[in-house]
């Protein structure tokens, strides 16, 4: 056990977590207003329900990043570490950690291509990110 927080599935997020367990990212999408993330049972703009779930490619680019020098819960052995915002290829933004590069500002650039991989936290598969072509896993 890593000591990192383990997300809990809710009725709104259950389908999301079921797909991450299969190594895929799926999100709800409103035909009129786009992606809904975090998952909700209806479009926050127009109220449409139910929403169609669509698969994302798992590819994206770094939109922003920080290097954390403070240990969040479960991260005591990883300080310093990257926290990144990813613009997925399909559009929605996701937050995660970046692995597979030295934790220095020079190792990362805005726009850097990344791909998802999944960290198993007590059976819950949490999306994390690595540079495209990296084989790093947790």
Domain count, the chain: 2
The CATH number of the domain where 88 resides is what?
2.40.50.840
Same domain, yes or no, for 138 and 75?
A: yes
Mean pLDDT confidence for 13-41: 97
In a domain, 87, yes or no: yes
In whole angstroms, give the CA distance from residue 101 to residue 34: 32
Question: Could you tell me the residue range of the domain that residue 70 belongs to?
Answer: 57-138
Burial (Cβ within 10 Å: 0-12, 13-18, ≥19) of residue 130: buried
Q: How would residue 18 be classed by pLDDT, with cut points 50, 70 and 90?
A: very high
Q: How would residue 122 be classed by pLDDT, with cut points 50, 70 and 90?
A: very high
């Amino acid at each position: 056990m890593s000591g990192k927080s383990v997300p809990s599935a809710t009725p709104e997020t259950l389908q999301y977590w079921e797909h991450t367990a299969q190594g895929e990212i799926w999100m709800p999408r409103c035909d009129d207003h786009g992606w809904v993330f975090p998952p909700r049972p209806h479009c926050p703009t127009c109220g449409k329900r139910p929403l169609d779930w669509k698969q994302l490619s798992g590819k994206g680019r770094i939109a922003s990043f920080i290097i954390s020098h403070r240990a969040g819960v479960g991260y005591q052995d990883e300080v310093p570490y990257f926290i990144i915002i990813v613009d997925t290829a399909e559009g929605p933004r996701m937050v995660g950690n970046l692995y597979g590069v030295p934790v220095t500002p020079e190792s990362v650039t805005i726009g850097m291509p990344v791909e998802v991989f999944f960290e198993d936290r007590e059976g819950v598969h949490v999306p994390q990110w690595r540079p495209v072509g990296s084989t790093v896993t947790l």
